Amino acid sequence: MGESQEKELIKRLQKQIMEDLDFGEELNDEQLKDLIGKYLLEKEENAHISLLQRKQLGKEIFDSLRKLDVLQDLIEDDEITEIMVNGPEAIFVEKKGALYKVNLKFESGEKLLQVIHQIVSGCNRTVNESSPIVDARLKNGARVNVVLYPIALNGPILTIRRFPDVPITMEKLKEVGAVSEEAVEFLKKAVRAKYNIIISGGTGSGKTTFLNALSQYIPKDERIITIEDSAELQILGIDNLIRMETRNINLEGGKGITIRDLIKSSLRMRPDRIIVGEVRGEEAFDMVGSAMNCGHDGSMSSAHANSAADMLSRLENMILMGAPLPISVIRRQIASGVDIIVHLGRLRDKSRKVLEISEIRGIENEEILLNALFRFQETSENKSKNIEGKLKKVGELIHKYKMETAGIITPY
């Protein structure tokens, strides 16, 4: 069967099945699969279809009706970490750190829009021309970003960031060389001693993955609140866990709920720690000024930055968005609220590594000072172009008060 014949058959069967669904009671997934199989098996014009073709066609029809159409196989591929849809005819994936264009496309822009609305409605969000940008998530926790016309000029843009079904642990990160044993031991103690930690890095550097892994060291008897735009964190082993997610303004007049709203609310919920998946704007004022500086030690968050030093500038700018305070006041808030910055990056061989761990020493001449504790040092590049090196200890921890208060003996 040629590709055009296959597409025509799929369209025809979809139409027939949808007509049945319109006039009958709604089917569950298994009933729908049975109905698709019946059409493929009983119609005389389909008699020439082989068993293998019938199975593949059945899956394609089911995916188009109940799943994510041509994207479903990509979503189910564990090696794919990112799916980028640039309009109905251009689909790219990231696999093992490299980008590829795949030989798949939606039958029309309308079909792509249908899939997008299916995704966003699944987490009670809406997207349309008057509100053309939205963040959402799939049932498996994958992060979704949508941009529609008139913002996106070359068709609906859909970006899906997949996360492993089983969260990556710090042990796994050590195995792949993303972080050293010595650095992990230090971070484990820092988390238990309730140091406030910011994870910084560029897009795709692994901030969410590292934040997840770091959370495994939180004592299991604490009350933790996580706050995110789209719920992605997979914190395990904490019984007293509250997960909160922002909400956009909806067509029914529902009020939008921001990260700032959720941080303010969380302060009245008696948390031991507050974890904000990512700060991008004015909510940094509440995270640093309220959560980290008001008795919720051990709080964590992540943010985009090019280095640990750049993270300080980014925090200053984001806090300014939320409160027009003098820069000297903002810097004192950062210096008293944030203890440790862990900076991640992607090297030229596409590997993700911890590049630097620094503590904030304090303020001198109105400038925030950093004390580098660990720094990645490249040693060589092998024949396969893979970078070799190690995250090495380069400095001593100055502020040991929290370690000592927690009864942790440390050489740092």
Per residue in 38-61, pLDDT tens? Answer: 666 665 455 566 666 666 666 666
- Give 124's contacts (C-beta < 8 A, 6+ positions apart): 247, 250
Mean pLDDT of 95-113: 88
Q: CB of 131 within 8 A of CB of 151?
A: no
Rounded to whole angstroms, how far apart are CA atoms 208 and 137?
14
Mind listing the pLDDT tens digit for each residue in 293-341?
877 899 999 999 999 999 999 999 999 998 889 999 999 999 999 999 9
More confident residue, 362 or 411: 362
Question: Per-residue pLDDT for 121 more than 70?
Answer: yes
pLDDT band at 23 (very low <50, low <70, confident <90, very high): very low
Question: 3-state DSSP call for residue 269?
Answer: coil
Q: CB of 93 within 8 A of CB of 84?
A: yes
| Percentage of the chain modeled with pLDDT above 70 | 82
Q: CB of 208 within 8 A of CB of 302?
A: yes
Q: Is the pTM of this model over 0.85?
A: no
Give the pairing of strands 387-393 and 80-86: unpaired
- Give 158's contacts (C-beta < 8 A, 6+ positions apart): 83, 84, 85, 112, 115, 116, 119, 144, 145, 146
The structure tokens listed for 197 are 């930690």
In the chain, count of helices (H) and strands (E)? 13, 15
Name the E strands within 164-234: 197-201, 224-228
DSSP state, residue 287: I
Instruction: Give the long-range contacts of residues 250-255, CB within 8 A, separation 24 or more.
Output: 250/124, 250/125, 250/126, 251/126
Weakest-pLDDT range from 54-68, 180-194, 273-287, 302-316: 54-68
